[in-house]
Amino acid sequence: DDTHIKTCSLVFLIPSEATGEEKYYVLYDSKETESVHYPNHVTVEDTHYFYEPIPGQKIDFDYYGIKQEGFVIYAVIQKGQLLGNPIALYALKFKPNSTAVETFNLDQCGNFDFRYGVTGEPDYIGTAWSTETTKTVLVEGNLMVRMRLECTSPRGDIHSDNIYTYYYCPTSAKRILIDAHHEMLKSITIDDPTILDGVFAGITSIKARSASIEKMNVGEILPTVYISTEDNAIQEFSVPQNPESIERELVLSTEADIELGSKAWVCLGDASSGKVHGIIFDSIAGIA
């Protein structure tokens, strides 16, 4: 009713001396206790970004900006485009100590829409193209923020319903949790399976250099793809760092027979620097 709490979620810092064997207790009594005001470590902002360095080449999107201690960590894209590429449902990761959402601060892109190949440019369609997005901030705590994005593809054939959660993390490695739900609303015949035969998550690298436009000096392409396979091995594949062709060049084709292992993950990395961006799957159930 109006005078009792129905549910309660607790998020708290684990002390450095914790071993994983501890027990945690929540104590309460019948007397009202004065609220404790803890510092607000994380915040979320519903806002917009626009930049058009060249006429017709826009970076234009609505997003939830996630900050920790005043620094930009992620931008969760509600709808929009990045230089002609649709990016609804993306999670953009920014370089350490970035204070603003700007192109030159962008470190990596994670796409969590559902897409498949079509002829034309760009050569895919799906919920990344959605322009009508239902957005909700579910939790805005001082140690955790959680947002929900729900949309349907322009063809009306795919519905995506994703929840994005970020927990305060005082270490250098940051991560965002995505609970992605994609539903096929009608039968789909893929125009060109050799392009994309159904993608539900990915890491998208961007690299641009310009002598005259400072904001276009953005991103990098890490040299190696690592995949944890079903035989508990790690396979490596080289990635061209300075591709010259404007045509799609697949490092792994859609016909490659690679099965993810029980501890499933995929990442882009640079062994020389130790830098890595990855996707860790909670489960491989239903993933072919």
Both tokens of 173, joined, read 């490695």
Q: Residue 89: which of 4, 173, 22, 153 has the closest Cα?
A: 153
Cβ–Cβ under 8 Å, residues 190 and 157: no
CA dihedral 215, 216, 217, 220 (to 10 degrees): 130
Bond prior to 122 in cis (omega within 30° of 0): yes
pLDDT tens-digit profile, the chain (288 residues): 788 888 888 888 888 899 989 888 888 888 888 888 889 999 999 999 999 888 888 899 999 999 999 999 999 999 999 888 899 999 999 999 999 999 899 999 999 999 988 877 777 889 999 999 999 999 999 999 999 999 999 999 999 999 999 999 988 899 999 999 999 999 988 766 556 678 888 888 888 888 888 888 888 889 999 999 888 889 999 998 887 777 777 777 767 778 888 888 999 999 999 999 999 999 887 664
Cβ–Cβ under 8 Å, residues 239 and 223: yes
